Amino acid sequence: MSSRYDDTFCSQCGKSFGPGGNGYSHCEDHTRLNLRVRRALEAVDDYHSPPNESEWSEAVSALRQKIAHLEAENARLQALPVSKSQSKRIKAQQE
């Protein structure tokens, strides 16, 4: 599975989200649930319609692994500190 972009970002806060099909315009767009759902849907799009049950089973298993990986990565990203310049930009946008 290859992603459309090597790195994706949030335009509001500047956080990097790694490879993906698209970035985010606002911080509210990359909440934990939304991130999981969007990345899972991208993974499903990559599988299209497998021709048999065995391939469907493999696709579902791969999707579950990807979701688990994304949940762990999202938790890591949420714990990252925000730089002073990003913090100033966020405060300015909120005013």
| pLDDT tens figures, 8-56 | 888 888 888 888 888 888 887 777 656 667 777 776 666 665 567 777 7
46 part of a folded domain: yes
94 part of a folded domain: no
**Domain region containing 51:** 5-82
| String of DSSP letters for 10-79 | BTTT--EEEEES--BSSGGGG-HHHHHHHHHHHHHHHH---SSHHHHHHHHHHHHHHHHHHHHHHHHHHH
Please give the structure tokens belonging to residue 42: 């991208």
17 part of a folded domain: yes
> How many structural domains does the chain have?
1
| pLDDT tens figures, 47-94 | 665 567 777 777 778 888 888 888 888 778 777 776 777 777 777 777
64 part of a folded domain: yes
Please give the structure tokens belonging to residue 50: 């497998």
Compute the Cα dihedral for 82, 83, 88, 93 and give only its sign.
negative
pTM for the full model? 0.37
66 part of a folded domain: yes
